[in-house]
Amino acid sequence: MKLEPDIARITLKSIFPIHPSFRIIALAEPPVIGSPTHQWLGPEFLTMFFFHYVKPLVKSEEIQVIKEMTQSLAASLSTRQLLRISRRLSQYPDENLHSAVTKACLSR
């Protein structure tokens, strides 16, 4: 396969072209234009990216997600860990799942 002269020259400099279907997906807090706090994406870069706002789950939606994920969670955790998580969520009903799993399993 013969490369075009420009591509060959760029390749010699160890700079490789990006595939046209290459995509980056990232999660972050939405930018607040005009805010004095540090922004994850400055105004000069905002126009270069598409972003979608995803609303936080309400408690009933979070419970539904947890119920649907129970089988995969149960497959990766022991019964003892699941009981610790359950106990923790009973004691602290306002705590989010990530925090409960971390405190019940990873900190011991």
> Tens digit of pLDDT for each residue in 18-57?
888 998 887 777 667 777 776 666 667 777 777 777 888 8
pLDDT band at 9 (very low <50, low <70, confident <90, very high): confident
Tens digits of residue pLDDT in 58-94: 989 888 887 777 666 667 777 788 888 888 889 988 8
> Residue 50 carries which side chain, given as an amino acid letter?
F
The ranges assigned to domains in the chain are 59-106
User: Is residue 2 over pLDDT 60?
Assistant: no
Please list the helix, strand and coil fractions of the chain in percent, rounded to the nearest 5, in that order: 50, 0, 50
User: Is residue 107 over pLDDT 70?
Assistant: no
Q: Is the dihedral of CA 54, 56, 58, 61 positive or negative?
A: positive
User: DSSP assignment, residue 29?
Assistant: P
Residue-wise DSSP of 37-83? SPPSS-HHHHTT------PPPPHHHHHHHHHHHHHHHHHHS-HHHHH
Structure confidence at residue 4 (pLDDT): 62
